[in-house]
Amino acid sequence: MADSSKDIQLHELKDMINDLKKMIKTLQATVDAANKREESLTQERDNLKEEIDLLRKKLFGTSSEKRTLDIPGQLNFFNEAELEQNPEAVKAEDLEAILPEKTAKKRKARATDAERFKGVPVEKKYLELSEEEKLCPSCGTPLKEIGEEFVRRELVFVPAKLKVYEYYSKNYECPQCKLQDIPVIKKGKDGRAHMLYGMASAGTVAWVMYQKFCNGLPYYRQEKDWKQYGVEITRATMANWVLRNSEAFFLPMYEYFHRKLLERGFAMADETPLQVLHEPERRAQTKSYMWLFRSGEDGGPPIILYKYSETRAGDNAVDFLHGFKGYLMCDGYSGYNKVPDVKRTACWAHIRRYLTDAIPKGKALDYTQPSVQGMLYINQLFHLEDVIRSKYSSFDAIKKARLEKEKPVVEGFLSWLDQQIPIRGSRMDKAVTYIQNRRSYLSTYLEDGRCSFSNNLSENAIRPFTVGRKNWLFCDTPNGAQASAIVYTMVEMAKANGVNVYHYLTYLLEKLPDDWMSDDELELLAPWNETVKAEIERRANESNQSYVNCQGAPAAEKQSGIFSIISKN
């Protein structure tokens, strides 16, 4: 019985041990799951902290993406990273050989008054003595003028004024023919018909366009401004002026610029959201888009075109670039992949932006951070690109220099990229994913010296629209949005080709281009045409000179106004 009791007790102990082992396994699994959950929550917390730091940096930090290369130890670290990660990539001694010598940047000299006011007419004002003061206080002899001395310089603003021109034709008849019952009558004509839509001159319509699309002044603010000049012009009237005149007289130029862009071999593109209130079968809150297409850095005259569309679908880019064959620089949006017959080039500025956002707070100089390591490569490429562009003017020379100096750095960057295993969901993970998805486009710019290194030109061209959008907020109708695209095109074309925006808009509204004009005739109205440039410069100089001439005229006769309302009898 005792043995039997011991056997039973032994079996019970064995069962207890098995139960404890199972319990230990269960508790261990619970602990492991808890640790895993804690690790996941910790990582989620760290990711959220990164997001908060990024949002704070975007809200309160500097918006500049420039970073200096002149940091102690940076180049040494760059070389060490190259050696450790891929011996076949650019080597330390090779990198040092291709690095441009550091030269201290000279501080830009302060502009003189002559440089700042270049092109502004100068009128001399003399400070005279009274008749009594022109007599010598000692002997009473009249003083003799011996010269002049500079005292001060003032910049004078002459406000614009409105005038109404009422045109009447003087009629004449032959008195002799009248006696024979054969009346001969002639009427005075100025040789051109007033064809603009609305009771406004070309200069007046151009000024409304200039104020909104160049200075970002909405119609309702212009409406208040017109009242200060003594006339009530409603925002609806101004909108109608812009809508109808741009469609009638700017659209032929717009389509001509479009045809010229498709003939080029290098193009750039970007897009930004736009709100249009009254789109058919769409809510007012839905996003529409304004696209920007422009020519690349191929040495030809710059062409900048805006295009409105209801969606961001890549088919919009396909339709607009139909017939274009060449290199297309754009951001990472996959919709551009639909465009056929083009070679996409990646924007290195966007890649740098993602890596900048991935740098942890306060770790910008911590070279153990993968994001900082990636930034070193990017900064080096930007530095080399600036040096090459400033040194060489030939596209063949630029290509050769890029292959010699930049290609090894690009290969080193790709080798570094392959080594990265970032934590899932982190900012670095997003940066690496973004870069890997565009890996095939990173080296395309090395194929031709005319290829752009970044899409900054497009972003600079679309910035006036985004700045103006903060003021006027939205477009009312699709027709208004397309009219905005057309006028913005004319404004930015004038800026890009170095002509006065207001006078160029006025010039086009006076010449009244139409669909019947050939491309040769439209070419004579393009802002890169030397005759047009000379004419716009002449008008600008005459406008400045008229400000000076009106200074000495009576107040009722001052002709400083650049607007004229035309009344048709």
Q: Would you state the pLDDT for residue 68? A: 54
DSSP 278-341: --TTS-TTSEEEEEEEEE-SSSSPP-EEEEEESS--HHHHHHHTTT--EEEE--S-GGGGG-TT
Q: Would you state the pLDDT for residue 541? A: 83
DSSP state of 441: G
Q: Would you state the pLDDT for residue 220? A: 92
SS3 content of the chain, % helix, strand, coil (to 5): 55, 10, 40
Long-range Cβ contact pairs of 167-176 (< 8 A, separation 24 or more)? 167/194, 167/566, 167/567, 167/568, 167/569, 168/569
| In 349-474, beta strands by DSSP E | none
Residue 413 half-sphere exposure, CB side, CA atoms within 13 Å?
Answer: 25
User: What is the gyration radius of the CA atoms in the chain, in angstroms?
Assistant: 35
H or E element: which one contains 114?
helix 113-116
b/e code 266-297 from CB counts within 10 Å (16+ = b): bbbbbbeebebbebeeeeeeeebbbbbbbbbb
Q: Would you state the pLDDT for residue 82? A: 37
Q: Would you state the pLDDT for residue 267? A: 94
From first to last of its 569 residues, the chain has per-residue pLDDT tens of 456 788 888 888 888 888 888 889 888 888 888 888 887 787 778 777 777 777 777 777 666 666 554 444 444 444 444 334 344 444 434 444 444 444 455 666 777 767 777 777 788 888 888 888 888 888 888 888 888 888 888 777 777 778 888 888 888 888 888 777 778 888 877 666 555 666 788 889 999 999 999 999 999 999 999 888 888 889 999 999 999 999 999 999 999 999 999 999 999 999 999 999 988 888 888 899 999 999 999 989 999 999 999 999 999 999 999 999 999 999 888 889 899 989 999 999 999 988 988 888 878 888 888 888 898 999 999 999 999 998 888 999 999 999 999 999 999 999 999 998 888 888 888 899 999 998 989 999 999 999 999 999 999 999 999 998 988 888 888 999 999 999 999 999 999 999 999 999 999 998 989 889 999 999 999 999 999 999 999 988 887 766 545 544 443 333 334 466 655 44
Q: Would you state the pLDDT for residue 67? A: 57
H or E element: which one contains 205?
helix 202-213
Long-range Cβ contact pairs of 505-511 (< 8 A, separation 24 or more)? 505/205, 505/206, 505/209, 505/210, 506/202, 506/203, 506/206, 506/539, 507/532, 507/535, 507/536, 507/539, 508/249, 508/250, 508/253, 509/196, 509/202, 509/205, 509/206, 509/245, 509/249, 510/202
CB 305 within 8 A of CB 261: yes
- Mapped onto helix, strand or coil, the DSSP state of residue 186 is strand
Q: Would you state the pLDDT for residue 332? A: 81
Give the angle 315-352-388 at the CA atoms, nearest 5°.
100
Rounded distance between C-alpha atoms, residue 480 and residue 487, angstroms = 10
Taking phi over 0 as left and psi of -120 to 50 as alpha, with beta for the rest, 230 belongs to: left
Rounded distance between C-alpha atoms, residue 361 and residue 431, angstroms = 16
Placement of tokens 């486009």 in the chain: 441
Q: Tell me whether residue 261 is exposed, middle or buried, using C-beta atoms within 10 angstroms of its C-beta: 0 to 12, 13 to 18, 19 or more.
A: buried
CB 469 within 8 A of CB 194: no
Rounded distance between C-alpha atoms, residue 56 and residue 62, angstroms = 11
The sign of the CA dihedral 67, 69, 74, 80 is positive
Backbone φ, ψ for residue 567 (5° rounding): -105, 125
Task: Tell which residue, 318, 322, 306, 317, has the closest CA to residue 483.
Answer: 306
Residue 427: which residues within 8 A CB-CB, separation 6 or more?
A: 47, 50, 51, 54, 357, 358, 371
DSSP state of 457: H
pTM over 0.85: no
**Three-state helix/strand/coil letters over 352-386:** HHHHHHHCCCCCCCCCCCHHHHHHHHHHHHHHHHH
CB 211 within 8 A of CB 229: no
